[in-house]
Structure 1
Amino acid sequence: MPFGQIVIGPPGSGKTTYCHGLSHFFELIGRKTAVVNLDPANDTLPYECAVNIEELVKLEDVMSEHNLGPNGGLVYCMDYLEKNIDWLKAKLEPFKDHYLLFDFPGQVELFTLHNNAKNVITEMVRKWDYRLTAVHLVDAHLCSDPGKYVGALLLSLSTMLHLELPHINVLSKIDLIESYGQLAFNLDFYTDVQDLQYLQYHLSEDARSAKYRKLTKNLCEVVEDFGLVNFTTLNIQDKESVMDLVKLVDKSNGYVFSGIEGNISAYMKIAAGPTNWDYYRTAAVQEKYMKGDADLETNRGTPS
């Protein structure tokens, strides 16, 4: 029974870097891992690739032959992969005893609007009996802009509803979170996704965003009403940060209960952790990567 991760997220969110770093991390802890590149636009791979979609279809060839742009070409490539799903199954056959990392394209429409990528994933889960978790990476610096943060929330929610998989949203590059400016609130405001009405005050301070305040209010209510979206954090260069994320993924897809690690009881103790671990971990991440330690309540504006 193969286990693995569907690694998705907007362009520049760090998907390929994540697959590269995680494969090294798994090598250190003795977990056999295979990275599968399903991004036909990713022609520079830092990791050793077990399966590469470019053996089946190349984006450059598709764009040239069918006179398509990058977005249309990616949709075509995913359609082609769906129609040739047996090729992927045959390529994955030698890696049934490996933990699989699927590096998908960054075009968000593939995971919110189109069904081709979803159908490929559904085939793996329902017919091949793969145990997969979607790891959705979002660049942490988006938190510094309330409008972009709301956009990230909507994208995360839409992706969760579309894919229908165990799903973990990740604020990647957390070590660079304040590179675009200091955050308005403490980090747990952005990871827990609660009390979003406080964002309206900060949107009103920007003349460009103020006129969309009512729309933003309604969008935030949609996110809160679903109650599905929250985030964990990741610095791929920090082994402790990577391990925290691996624990979450292993519990979500059932890997922690599979016994593959050998001493399952010892591994479960590591993965379980204290019940209030998320609170202390978020506080530790803020202390490590963010300037100051302002009280969240005093930093929130007055909602209206």
Structure 2
Amino acid sequence: MVFGQVVIGPPGSGKTTYCNGMSQFLQLIGRKVAVVNLDPANDILPYECAVNIEELIKLSDVMSEHSLGPNGGLVYCMDYLEKNIDWLESKLKPLVKDHYLLFDFPGQVELFFLHANAKRVIEKLIKKLNLRLTAVHLVDAHLCSDPGKYISALLLSLSTMLHLELPHINVLSKIDLIESYGKLAFNLDFYTDVQDLSYLQYHLDQDPRSAKYRKLTKELCEVVEDYSLVDFTTLDIQDKESVANLVKLIDKSNGYIFAGVEPSAVEFSKIAVRPVDWDYYRVAAVQEKYVKDDGNFDDGDN
């Protein structure tokens, strides 16, 4: 049984930085890690890459040869990778014996809630190599400072979860910068727990552009709430405690803590199971550390 993460998220959400920081942390706790770059546009990598899709296909070559833009080129590259999945399988076979895998995917969001190529690539790898993968979906924390963007992030997260059909963890990345994006309308746990979204309506109505689509926004929020699938954890990739908390969640989601793991990781895996209220205290700690609280909680009635 081989474990790993499928790292996805919009452009600028910090996927490559995440893979670099996560690989360093996992090695620190005793795991052998292999990072697999499946982004054909990512030609500057801060981490040591075990497998690089650019050995198979490059986005720049596709765009030049087929007169495609970056979006169409990425769809072509994923289609090409699917058709040449044996190449990727042969590259991964030497690694699956004793490595933990991190798959760094492109940032084009359509690949993960609209097109099926990336999903089929993941499904074929799971079947052929007996992988246990968790999708780690990164969303920039700055979206919380804008109610409209936050709702868009919720819809994207929900669509991706339903499309990929993998154990899934949504992450508010760059949480250490959240205060610099502007004051939040609510405490951080409102955004991580995806609580009653009707409270956002007051703030949306302050923007004439959002108020115009009041009914549509209300219906979209109800869709998110009816599914009741989306929530977020927080991440500061430079903070070891923050990364450790995320690793615990990932290990629970893909079953790593229940597998026969190497002795060096046993002690770490033992603390993965926490009391039910652990998440509450974690978010409260993040709120205190990164978000200035003036004691006022605006519920939209003022």
Same fold (TM over 0.5): yes
Alpha-carbon separation, structure 2, partners of 1:55 and 1:155? 31
2:129 counterpart of 1:122: no
* Counterpart residue number, 1:71: 71
- Deviation string, structure 1 residues 249-274 (Cα, Å, up to 9, x no partner): 00100111112132776444311122
Unaligned runs of 5+ in 2: none
* Counterpart residue number, 1:28: 28
2:85 counterpart of 1:85: yes
Identity %: 78
> Is the Cα contact below 8 Å between 2:30 and 2:265 reproduced in 1?
no
> Is the Cα contact below 8 Å between 2:29 and 2:265 reproduced in 1?
no
2:166 counterpart of 1:165: yes
Aligned length: 301
Q: Which amino acid letter does the alignment assign opposite residue 175 of structure 1?
A: D
* 1:2/1:293 CA distance change after superposition, 3 Å: farther
Within 5 Å, give how 1:206-285 maps onto structure 2. 206-262=207-263, 266-285=267-286
> Is the Cα contact below 8 Å between 2:30 and 2:264 reproduced in 1?
no
Other structure's SS at 2:12 match:
coil
Q: Which amino acid letter does the alignment assign opposite residue 27 of structure 1?
A: Q
* Counterpart residue number, 2:143: 142
Post-superposition offset of 1:281: 0.4
> Is the Cα contact below 8 Å between 2:3 and 2:100 reproduced in 1?
yes
Q: Which amino acid letter does the alignment assign opposite residue 255 of structure 1?
A: Y
> Is the Cα contact below 8 Å between 1:133 and 1:168 reproduced in 2?
yes
Other structure's SS at 1:177 match:
helix
Alpha-carbon separation, structure 2, partners of 1:87 and 1:44? 22
Alpha-carbon separation, structure 2, partners of 1:4 and 1:239? 19
- Deviation string, structure 1 residues 261-297 (Cα, Å, up to 9, x no partner): 32776444311122211000000000000012535xx
* 1:261/1:276 CA distance change after superposition, 3 Å: farther
Q: Which amino acid letter does the alignment assign opposite residue 155 of structure 1?
A: L
Alpha-carbon separation, structure 2, partners of 1:123 and 1:71? 23
Post-superposition offset of 1:94: 1.1
- Deviation string, structure 1 residues 97-137 (Cα, Å, up to 9, x no partner): 10000000000000011000000001112332100000000
Q: Which amino acid letter does the alignment assign opposite residue 118 of structure 2?
A: A
Post-superposition offset of 1:178: 2.2
TM-score by length of 1: 0.96
Q: Which amino acid letter does the alignment assign opposite residue 90 of structure 1?
A: S
TM-score by length of 2: 0.97
Other structure's SS at 2:271 match:
helix
Stretch of structure 1 that moved more, 261-270 or 177-186: 261-270
Post-superposition offset of 1:302: 3.5
* Counterpart residue number, 2:298: 299
Other structure's SS at 1:50 match:
strand
* Counterpart residue number, 2:53: 53
> Is the Cα contact below 8 Å between 1:144 and 1:178 reproduced in 2?
no
2:28 counterpart of 1:43: no
Q: Which amino acid letter does the alignment assign opposite residue 154 of structure 2?
A: L
